[in-house]
Amino acid sequence: MFVLDQQSLVQGRHAVLNDISLEINAGEKVALVGPSGAGKSSLLSWLWQQHSDDIALCPQEGGLVDILSVYQNIYMGGLSRHSSAYNLINLIRPWSLRQQEVYTIAELLGIDETLAVSPDRLSGGQRQRVALGRALYRNKPIFFGDEPVSSLDPKQGDELLGTVLSQHKTAVVAIHSPELALKHFTRVIALNAGQLVGDWQTQDITLADIKAVYSGE
Amino acid sequence: MRRSIFKAIAICATVFSASIASAETFTFTAIPDADESRLNERFGKVADYLTEQLGVDVKYIPVKSYPAAITAFRNDQVQLAWFGGLSGVQARELVEGSEAIAQGYEDQFFKTYIIANAATNLIPREEFPVALEGKTFTFGSKGSTSGRLMPEFYIRENTGKSPEELFSRVGFSGDHSRTIALVESGAYDLGAVNYSVWDIELGLGKIDQSKVNVIWTTPTYPDYQWTIRGDVNARYGEGFKAKVTEALLNMKDEDLLASFPRKSFVPASNSDYAPIYETGKSIGLID
Amino acid sequence: MPQTFSSSVLIKGISTGARLRRLSLFFSLIAIAFLFVADIHLYTPDPWQELSRIGLGLVTPYWPNASELGVSLLYTVSFALLAVSGAAIIGMLLAMWYHWRVVRVLAAAVRSVHEIFWGLMFMQIFGLSATTGLLAILIPFTGIFAKVFSEIFEQQPVTATSTFGKASRLSRFVYGWIPQAWPALASYTRYRFECALRSSAILGFIGLPTLGFHLETAFKQGDYSEAAAVLWLFLLLIASVRFWLKLRLLPVYLLLAVLALPEMPPVNASFIWQFFSQDIWPTALQDGDFNGTWEWVSRVGVNEVWPALWQTIAITQAALVLSGVLALMLYPLASRALVGRWSVLGRFKLLVLRSVPELMLAYVFMLLFGPSALPAILALALHNGGLIAFLLANSSEDANKRIGEGVPKGMMRFAYIDLPQRYPAFLAFLFYRWEVILRESAMMGVVGIATLGFYVDSAFEEIRFDKAFFLIVVAALLNICVDGLSRWLRARSGLKAPTL
């Protein structure tokens, strides 16, 4: 489904990703691990370009529009399903059918109380839930996330990640927590300084293997 | 009491500043009633003529409006000015000893046209038109004699009402040419315009008479004149005022006269403008 | 559960967007209410002949004497350059002590009077000289710089300066605030320079030897080809600023500007004294006659100030809302991120809108719609809408440079992402322009609607400086009120001052 064959990505004079070869098949749930600046985000956006229409993307900064309500922010995931006129009307007067759909997702994520609030008034954790809500509302078979639960406490992050992954057939998620990577994913890809330093099936490795990536061994 | 103290200080300061200025340039300004383009070029020639005639350095400075001309005259930035009837009266009120020395040949019997857009269906007549009530009306500039003062005077005299009472809307176009354009386009129903500007623009084919026409002409009155400051003899030499007057009256070059535009200049005095002063007072433009 | 779910869930809670929308709606309703107060009439003139002359002139620009135009171009730039440099420096000093009430009041007072009014007043003292031109721009701009610079400083993080210990205020600014805020300060000064060019040109309308002098004359005389030549030259000047205005060349430019200034005739001290001691005070007051003064004030108040005040406010409110509507409609057309290559056309349109003097737009609209408040409202709205749209388009392009993947395109991006993201900045810009629009609608009196400027203009024409001064003070006070109201509203709605 996603294929990279000895490819490199150069930004300016600096190689962000170096000689990467990998293949990801439908049905796989892949965790991208590695220290900050390892090239995880670049790899994600590179892969995203290959099938952008089938992917629900949850970028690192969330891409929230601060002054619109949480409802509208989640609804944005479904913009491509409707005509422009329909979307414009929704901006002024939300359709009740869509409200129900969005409500269902918000409830799943525990933010149903905040639907009318704008994200600039929410905590970092709540904002991440909104961003996840938008990704879920995209209704796509593939989920791409860039640190999607980094602002949540470990327990909440664990639960939400499980929820989101269960709604998608395939997933590629950049994640810092080795525990979550092991628990929720079928495959772990490790990057360091733009190099592919590990590519394992989850059942073959232990926490120590992932932690080793961060200590640079 | 306090005013006289202020005055005394002011006079001292004037004397002081006058005494430090030496080998002075004689400066004049002029705003023609029509065609204000290329003022520097046109009146530069007039300055050259005066330099030649007077034996002092004469300079022209362009101004934009009557009040600007009056201010320049009052502040002694110019010593001679080509004023409109009303602005001349106002300037002479402010500068003691100043004098009207010459006027244009045409200014002895100046007049104003009341013009109307064709849609008003008003036709030209001898007597003051009666059916003006409720129309819209534009004057020229607020301080203009032919574009404001005299037409307002005759409107009041003939109708017993102020323009604001008579018309549904009163505007000030700021300029005679613009008055014609605004009435021609129908933006205003009626307007008051300097007769010489109208006649010139008509001659140039700039006016579409199927759209705008003259419906009434005011009686004649004195208008533009040369006014000179009272202290020029002391500053530029005895008999300087008479020399300036003579130079103006002897200006025969068509090219120079066309800048004003006047046929020639004839003698004038402050008393010629008494009617303007009275009119200004009666409609509240002069205190 | 879905079946018990009703839309009421969306109503509870606070959304910033909804609050700003309510605020916008509130202002729109006020504007509509004021439309009934404003002197609005629709006449149906037959303007096509005049308009076709204007149109023909625009495409056949012509100027007979290039050196004359060149000189006035030089004066226009010199006035603007020197005045802005001076105002930026003084404004910076004032901004450092902006926490002092006296500084704030001083800044508010000097910026509350329109450049043209300053020009008219200084003309009584300094005549048609460079001093008049420089001061008329320098003084109000100093007040504006003081305010905006102080706001820029407020937005800076305190981390750097908090490590300085007990350094003097000046050192803290020189080492901390100013370097920290430098990009914002520089970009605002650059923007102000463009405004100063406009002001400088417009001062020609009252007789200073800048581009406006020729523009106004030619336009007034109906020489539209000549007017167009000046207008195109001015547009070219504004559009080219970013190519030639470089910080390191500034000293050279300043030197040239000083050399290029027209001569300054000696100032007669007695006139300065007379102007301040006599001319601007009513005769009754000078005589110590307080009853007479009161009578004078109440007569001017009832006959002129009161009706003029309403017209001015009505036009301001209507123009404010219409500016906003136009800005929102126009800015996407000039944003590369939203319309791609077509943005060049949109940019050009905005350049024209924000550069053409409002008075001239008002005149053209008067030909179209007849004389009333309508041409003034439209002219103000187009001009200010064009300016705000320009600022929004810039910020839209900046924001979209670093936008992530997966955002919708075209119309949907505008409606769901770009517009909501720009909206707080948009409202802040609009509230900033509020006082400017007020000053300009007072000015609009010149086209014949009875705003404050109409009576100020009349008073100058009638050589009644006492009345002119009184009316200018009233206009200034009104302006200070609106300024305060705007600041309060911005603070209350959490609208941050956008960095320009």
pLDDT, tens digit (0-9, with 9 covering 90-100), for A194-216: 888 889 998 888 888 888 888 76
| Inter-chain CB proximity C12 and A72 less than 8 Å | no
Q: Average pLDDT in the C415-431 region?
A: 87
Task: Tell me whether residue A86 is in a domain.
Answer: no
| CA–CA separation, C165 and C180 (whole Å) | 17
Q: Over chain C, what is the mean pLDDT?
A: 85
Task: Tell me whether residue A118 is in a domain.
Answer: no
When mean pLDDT is compared across A11-20, C260-269, C337-346, C423-432, the lowest value belongs to C260-269
| CA–CA separation, B61 and B285 (whole Å) | 27
| Inter-chain CB proximity C44 and B77 less than 8 Å | no
- Provide the percentage of residues in chain B whose pLDDT is more than 90: 65
State the smallest CA–CA distance between residue C393 and chain A in angstroms. 18
| CA–CA separation, C433 and C138 (whole Å) | 19
Task: Tell me whether residue A35 is in a domain.
Answer: yes
**pLDDT higher than threshold 90 for residue C401:** no
Q: Average pLDDT in the C431-444 region?
A: 90
User: Tell me, what's the pLDDT at C403?
Assistant: 53
| Inter-chain CB proximity A91 and C416 less than 8 Å | yes
- Provide the percentage of residues in chain C whose pLDDT is more than 70: 91
Which is more confidently placed, C487 or C9? Answer: C487
Which of A149-153, B211-215, C343-347: highest mean pLDDT?
B211-215
Nearest-by-CA chain C residue for A76: C416
**φ, ψ of residue C64 in degrees (nearest 5):** -70, -25
Euclidean distance between the first and final Cα of chain B, in Å?
21
| Inter-chain CB proximity C10 and A94 less than 8 Å | yes
Task: Tell me whether residue A169 is in a domain.
Answer: yes
Which is more confidently placed, C371 or C499? Answer: C371
**Which candidate from B76, B138, B187 shows the least CB-CB separation from C367?**
B187
C440 lies within 8 A of chain B by CB: no
| CA–CA separation, B204 and B106 (whole Å) | 19
Rg over CA atoms, chain A: 18
Domains in chain B, ordered, with CATH? 21-107+222-282 (3.40.190.10), 111-217 (3.40.190.10)
- Provide the percentage of residues in chain B whose pLDDT is more than 70: 92
User: Tell me, what's the pLDDT at B159?
Assistant: 92
| Inter-chain CB proximity C371 and B136 less than 8 Å | yes
A117 lies within 8 A of chain C by CB: yes
User: Tell me, what's the pLDDT at B16?
Assistant: 42
One CATH from 1.10.260.40, 3.30.300.30, 1.10.3720.10, 1.10.10.10 for C15-44+280-500: 1.10.3720.10
**pLDDT higher than threshold 80 for residue C6:** no
B281 lies within 8 A of chain C by CB: no
How many angstroms separate the Cα of B114 from the Cα of each of B140, B190, B204, B233, C328? 11, 7, 20, 42, 46
A176: containing domain? 2-65+131-214
User: Tell me, what's the pLDDT at C402?
Assistant: 53
User: Tell me, what's the pLDDT at B12?
Assistant: 45
Q: Average pLDDT in the B222-242 region?
A: 94
| CA–CA separation, C361 and B120 (whole Å) | 27
C128 lies within 8 A of chain B by CB: yes
Nearest-by-CA chain B residue for C49: B185
**Checking phi first, is residue B34 left (phi over 0); if not, alpha (psi -120 to 50) or beta?**
beta
When mean pLDDT is compared across A120-129, B5-14, C383-392, the lowest value belongs to B5-14
**pLDDT higher than threshold 80 for residue B9:** no
Q: Average pLDDT in the A66-80 region?
A: 86
Predicted confidence (pLDDT) per residue in C190-225, tens digit = 989 999 999 999 899 888 889 998 988 888 888 889
A90 lies within 8 A of chain C by CB: no
| Inter-chain CB proximity B35 and C49 less than 8 Å | no
**Which candidate from A67, A94, A116 shows the least CB-CB separation from C424?**
A67
**Which candidate from C10, C16, C405 shows the least CB-CB separation from A45?**
C405
User: Tell me, what's the pLDDT at C103?
Assistant: 93
State the smallest CA–CA distance between residue C270 and chain B in angstroms. 5
When mean pLDDT is compared across A1-10, B179-188, B234-243, C323-332, the lowest value belongs to A1-10
Contact C193, C73 (CB under 8 A): no
**pLDDT higher than threshold 50 for residue C1:** no
Q: Average pLDDT in the C368-376 region?
A: 84
**Which candidate from B35, B68, B286 shows the least CB-CB separation from C123?**
B68
- If 0-12 CB within 10 Å is exposed, 13-18 middle and 19+ buried, where does residue A121 land? middle
**φ, ψ of residue B261 in degrees (nearest 5):** -95, 125
Half-sphere exposure of A164 (CA within 13 A, CB side): 35
**pLDDT higher than threshold 90 for residue A120:** no
**pLDDT higher than threshold 90 for residue B148:** yes
C398 lies within 8 A of chain B by CB: no
Half-sphere exposure of C38 (CA within 13 A, CB side): 28
**What's the maximum distance between 2 C-alpha atoms anywhere in chain B?**
63
**Is residue B261 reached through a cis peptide bond, with omega within 30 degrees of 0 on the bond before it?**
yes
User: Tell me, what's the pLDDT at C187?
Assistant: 87
Question: Model-level pTM greater than 0.90?
Answer: no
| Inter-chain CB proximity C49 and B211 less than 8 Å | yes
**pLDDT higher than threshold 60 for residue C445:** yes
- Provide the percentage of residues in chain A whose pLDDT is more than 70: 99
Nearest-by-CA chain A residue for C407: A63
User: Tell me, what's the pLDDT at B76?
Assistant: 87
Predicted confidence (pLDDT) per residue in A174-196, tens digit = 998 889 999 999 999 998 888 88
Neighbours of C129 (CB within 10 A): 23
C461 lies within 8 A of chain B by CB: yes
**pLDDT higher than threshold 70 for residue B129:** yes
**pLDDT higher than threshold 80 for residue A168:** yes
| Inter-chain CB proximity C288 and B181 less than 8 Å | no
| Inter-chain CB proximity C405 and A84 less than 8 Å | no
Number of helices (H) and strands (E), helices first, in chain B? 12, 11
A79 lies within 8 A of chain C by CB: yes
Residue C21 pLDDT level (bands cut at 50, 70, 90)? confident
Q: Average pLDDT in the C425-452 region?
A: 86
Task: Tell me whether residue A7 is in a domain.
Answer: yes
Q: Average pLDDT in the B204-226 region?
A: 93
Contact C449, C376 (CB under 8 A): yes
Q: Average pLDDT in the C102-124 region?
A: 90
**φ, ψ of residue C498 in degrees (nearest 5):** -75, 140
Q: Over chain B, what is the mean pLDDT?
A: 88
Nearest-by-CA chain C residue for B181: C50
Rg over CA atoms, chain B: 20
What is the DSSP track for chain B?
Answer: -HHHHHHHHHHHHHHHHHHH--SPPEEEEE--SS--TTHHHHHHHHHHHHHHHHSS-EEE---SSHHHHHHHHHTTS-SEEEE-HHHHHHHHHHSTT-EEEEEEGGGGGB-EEEEEEGGG-----SSPPSTTTT-EEEES-TT-IIIIIHHHHHHHHHHSS-HHHHSSEEEE-SSHHHHHHHHHHTSSSEEEEEHHHHHHHHHTT---TTTEEEEEEPPPB---EEEE-TTHHHHH-TTHHHHHHHHHHT---HHHHTTTT-S-EEE--GGGGHHHHHHHHHTTS--
| Inter-chain CB proximity C221 and B36 less than 8 Å | yes
- Say yes or no: do domains C15-44+280-500 and C62-279 share a fold: yes
| Inter-chain CB proximity A115 and C17 less than 8 Å | no
User: Tell me, what's the pLDDT at C95?
Assistant: 93
Half-sphere exposure of C376 (CA within 13 A, CB side): 33
User: Tell me, what's the pLDDT at B6?
Assistant: 47
| Inter-chain CB proximity C273 and B3 less than 8 Å | no
| Inter-chain CB proximity B2 and C207 less than 8 Å | no
**Which candidate from B17, B177, B185 shows the least CB-CB separation from C269?**
B17
Q: Average pLDDT in the C449-475 region?
A: 89
User: Tell me, what's the pLDDT at C165?
Assistant: 61
The ipTM estimated for the assembled molecules is 0.79
**Which candidate from C218, C270, C463 shows the least CB-CB separation from B90?**
C463
User: Tell me, what's the pLDDT at C404?
Assistant: 55
**Which candidate from B14, B77, B182 shows the least CB-CB separation from C127?**
B77
Secondary structure of residue A28 in the 3-state scheme: coil
The domain segmentation of chain C, as residue ranges, is 15-44+280-500, 62-279
Nearest-by-CA chain C residue for A116: C10
Tokens of B34: 């029509």
Domain count, chain A: 1
Half-sphere exposure of C95 (CA within 13 A, CB side): 26
| Inter-chain CB proximity C127 and B72 less than 8 Å | yes
Task: Tell me whether residue A87 is in a domain.
Answer: no
**pLDDT higher than threshold 50 for residue C500:** no
- Provide the percentage of residues in chain C whose pLDDT is more than 90: 33
Name residues 195-224 of chain B within 8 A of C (Cβ): 206, 208, 211
Task: Tell me whether residue A113 is in a domain.
Answer: no
Q: Which residue has the tokens 């007549």?
A: B125
| Inter-chain CB proximity C14 and A88 less than 8 Å | no
**Which candidate from B10, B14, B71 shows the least CB-CB separation from C127?**
B71
| CA–CA separation, C461 and B68 (whole Å) | 9
One CATH from 3.20.20.370, 1.10.3720.10, 2.60.120.260, 1.10.260.40 for C62-279: 1.10.3720.10
Nearest-by-CA chain C residue for B170: C448
Q: Average pLDDT in the C347-353 region?
A: 87
Residue C161 pLDDT level (bands cut at 50, 70, 90)? low
Do A and B make contact via 3 or more CB pairs under 8 A? The reply is: no
| Inter-chain CB proximity B185 and C367 less than 8 Å | yes
When mean pLDDT is compared across A4-8, B17-21, B125-129, the lowest value belongs to B17-21
Do A and C make contact via 3 or more CB pairs under 8 A? The reply is: yes
Inter-chain Cβ pairs, chain B and chain C, closer than 8 A: 157
B188 lies within 8 A of chain C by CB: yes
Best probe of the B interface among C125, C203, C270, C460, by most B CBs < 10 A, is C270
CATH at residue A7: 3.40.50.300
**pLDDT higher than threshold 90 for residue B3:** no
When mean pLDDT is compared across A80-94, A181-195, C431-445, the lowest value belongs to A80-94
**pLDDT higher than threshold 80 for residue C370:** no
Residue C8 pLDDT level (bands cut at 50, 70, 90)? very low
Do C and B make contact via 3 or more CB pairs under 8 A? The reply is: yes
Residue C155 pLDDT level (bands cut at 50, 70, 90)? confident
Task: Tell me whether residue A72 is in a domain.
Answer: no
Predicted confidence (pLDDT) per residue in B187-196, tens digit = 899 999 999 9
**Which candidate from A52, A68, A103 shows the least CB-CB separation from C9?**
A103
Residue B38 pLDDT level (bands cut at 50, 70, 90)? confident
User: Tell me, what's the pLDDT at B13?
Assistant: 44
User: Tell me, what's the pLDDT at A119?
Assistant: 87
